[in-house]
């Protein structure tokens, strides 16, 4: 994440600005069980986003972070199985306790990235958009 941003910023400066959207995680903000390294890494992405927004705002570069919750992907299924769970049962039960009562879809995250990269968010920088169906509300 850092290296990609480091190498794209000079091109964005030359172009007169740009948009960077980092992908964090809800666990960057809340933490989670059996995931110390993951939580720490994603918290680093979250805070790096804020620092980069300060550094690159004067160059008309918006830097934001999308922090997804549980998204129905092969990664989530693999994680569940590694921890000894049964994917469909685990998330059916967990999702029932959340405000939106479902897993997220990759498209849910993509639309948030699209928004942050669009002309509809010209003054949004240094922000984290939590996309988790209310999971950490």
Query: How does pLDDT run along the chain (137 residues), one tens digit per residue?
Result: 999 999 999 999 999 999 999 999 999 999 888 889 999 999 999 999 999 999 999 999 999 999 999 999 998 888 888 878 777 777 778 888 899 999 999 999 999 999 999 999 999 999 999 999 999 99
* Per-residue model confidence (pLDDT) at position 77: 85
CATH architecture of the domain with residue range 2-68+118-131: 3-Layer(aba) Sandwich (3.40)
Q: What is the pLDDT of residue 32?
A: 85
Q: Which residue in the block uniquely carries the two structure tokens 């989670």?
A: 32
- Active-site residues, by number, are 38
HEC-encoded secondary structure of the chain: CHHHHHHHHHHHHHHCCEEEEEECCHHHHHCCCCCHHHHHHHHHHHHHHHHHHHHHHHHCEEEEEEEECCECCHHHHHHHHHCCCCHHHHHHHHHHCCCCCCCECHHHHHHHHHHHHCCCCCCCCCCEEEECCCCCC
pLDDT score, position 93:
82
Hey, what are 46's tokens?
């979250």
Query: What's the pLDDT tens digit per position in 10-22?
Result: 999 999 999 999 9
Is residue 108 within 8 Å of 73, Cβ to Cβ?
Answer: no
């Amino acid at each position: 994440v850092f290296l990609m941003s480091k190498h794209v910023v000079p091109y964005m400066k030359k172009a007169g600005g740009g948009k960077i959207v980092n992908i964090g995680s809800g666990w960057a903000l809340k933490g989670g069980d059996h995931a110390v390294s993951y939580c720490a890494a994603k918290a680093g992405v979250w805070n790096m986003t804020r620092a980069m927004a300060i550094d690159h705002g004067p160059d008309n570069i918006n830097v934001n972070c999308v922090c997804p919750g549980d998204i129905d992907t092969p990664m989530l299924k693999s994680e569940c199985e590694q921890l000894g769970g049964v994917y469909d049962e685990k998330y059916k039960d967990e999702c029932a306790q959340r405000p939106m009562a479902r897993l997220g879809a990759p498209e849910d995250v993509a639309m948030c990235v699209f928004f942050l990269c669009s002309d509809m968010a010209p003054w949004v920088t240094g922000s984290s958009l939590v996309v988790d169906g209310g999971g950490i509300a």
